[in-house]
A and B are shown apart, each in its own frame.
Chain A
Amino acid sequence: MSKRRHITYEFDGDLPEGTGDDAHWVVYTRKNAGGPARWAGYLDAVDVDLALQYSREHYGLDEACVGTLIHRHDAMTDSEYGLEPLSPASAKGDDGEPWVVFVQKGRGNIHIEAGLVHAPNARTAIARGIASFAGGKVTNVRVVLQADCHEAMQEDLAIWREHDLSYKYARGYSKDVRAKWRTFRDEADLEGYRAGDIKEHF
């Protein structure tokens, strides 16, 4: 093992004073051009440039994607989380700033981008978001000023890599694993094991 991992370090006293946390960002990824941005996770970063870079290098490589969308956690406003789908509403109007609307189709689910509304404030944006996108099918509506949403796109700077990435996905091993098991187990056992595999592990 490398030297840095091997040696024992000496410390005097306590840790240096903490630095506190950087700004919190919410990250969504887009699987294909024109498709909706889907919640992927979170990250902390001091500013938007770094947050975008980190969103690409982490969530942008979790699965094939063409872009990431981020906003600060404190830039979002969520409606109440309904126990039942939110009732359809009829809030109308198109005055004010553009807001990006994300919807959650059931508690425990992720938020997915639904579209834009215009509204003078978050409360109205939520009401208009429910009217435009809820359709009696979502438990939560999230709105973020479009100006507070930032996107990284594959066409500007690569996100997804073109070289072989099969080493970092389960499917990159399935065929080999199956072939190797054949020398240890007969086909019937192997089928049962594979069924268990899917139940337990995937």
Chain B
Amino acid sequence: MSGAANPVQPMCPCEGEDPEKLAQFEQRIAEGVHIEPGDWMPEAYRQGMLRMAEHHANSEIIGALPEGEWITRAPSLRRKLALTAKVQDEVGHGQMLYRVSQELGKSRDDMLRDLVMGKTKYHNCFNYPAPTWGDIAMIQWLIDGAAIMNQKTLADGAYGPYVRTMNRINMEEAFHFKSGEDMVLTLMSGTKLQKQMTQDAFDRWWAVSLMFFGPHDKPGAETMPAMRWRMKIEKNDSLRQRFVNRFAPAAKDLGLIINVCAKDEHGYVTSVREDEQCVRDEATGNWGFTDPDWDEFFRVIRGNGPCNAHRLNLRRFSHEQGDWVRRAGAHGTITTPPAA
């Protein structure tokens, strides 16, 4: 689960690049040609892809934490297995995505160190709390649903190694989403307590999933390098609208109420009112929605969200705890393990 939608990094201009090579590079991308290792690429593209894959990988590694909290409490063998496998997939995705950035010039060790020391970012949505089992259902349904929508477009990108990785990742994201959908359906078919738990979790995650796609696009986003070079394929606002068109009617059919919520600094809902804008516009076919609180979004990005400190604290501790194992592993070259 993740998606690279929110690192909207200003791309450095292509100063000093050979104009002929640059023109050829852009021409190839415009023609839908994939960029492969060994091809000439502008330095800004190399840096941009490295940062994008690193951010995506970081998001997978931190994204493993909120759901990981519930593995010990999952309510059936199948749910326990599925949640373990899902969190495991995220570690696997992180591992694969770090490899894309490794090939572009940064070591994984450095990336993991920069992550735990707060020098690099990860997706904002993992800085929110998951206080009930209902949150696990919502993360897998809404956040993974949003991630698949985003990643399906990223698999149409131009950088070959990232595209190949994304295609494999999307195969597994489909499981995450389906498992989430199954949990939401089960809970909303269940008891009063289960339905209330689901509604409360939905209130916590709906606005977060709208923010998942990143802030409103700046005018002319299509012509900026990120989209011109097909690192980013679809605009944030367009992805967000597609998400609402799919999930708003589904939520309503399930009996969930789409609320506009106020939250405290811990990410808990303090008051709700039904979102009256959330109706289908018959002329366009689009569903309306109340814009999420973008001040909150930027506050969380700057490190002041409900769980930023806790997530990094745990990840750093696990990194430091593992230090001796990594050193022991690197200690000698063992070629033959003892026989069983």
Contacts and interface: CB of A to CB of B under 8 A. Distances in A.
Any A–B CB pair closer than 8 Å? yes
Interface of A: 1-2, 5, 8-9, 11, 14-16, 18-22, 24, 39-44, 46-50, 58, 62-63, 78, 80-81, 83, 107-110, 140, 167-170, 172-174, 176-177, 180-181, 183-185, 189, 193, 196, 200-202
Interface in B314-334: 314, 316-317, 319-320, 323, 326-327, 329-330, 333-334
Interface string B99-129: 1001000011110010011000000000000
A22 B110 CA distance: 13
A62 B96 CA distance: 13
A14 B69 CA distance: 27
Across the A-B interface, give the 10 residue pairs with the lowest CB-CB distance, nearest first.
Answer: A108-B34, A107-B34, A180-B185, A81-B36, A170-B174, A168-B85, A173-B178, A1-B69, A42-B99, A9-B317
A174 B177 CA distance: 11
A107 B113 CA distance: 33
A47 to B, nearest CB: 6
Contacts of A24: 99, 102
B335 interface: yes
A108 B108 contact: no
B73 interface: yes
B92 A58 contact: yes
Contact of B181 (A5, A172, A177): A177
Contacts of B216: none
A99 to B, nearest CB: 19
A21 B69 contact: no
A167 B78 CA distance: 6
Contact of A62 (B36, B168, B330, B337): B168
B334 A47 contact: yes
Given A15-B320, A168-B175, A180 B189 contact: yes
A15 B319 contact: yes
A79 to B, nearest CB: 10
Given A8-B313, A21-B102, A193 B250 contact: yes
Interface stretch (B7-15, B43-51, B145-153, B296-304): B145-153
B282 interface: no
Contacts of A42: 95-96, 99
A39 B160 CA distance: 13
Given A2-B72, A39-B164, A43-B95, A173 B181 contact: yes
Contacts of A9: 313-314, 316-317
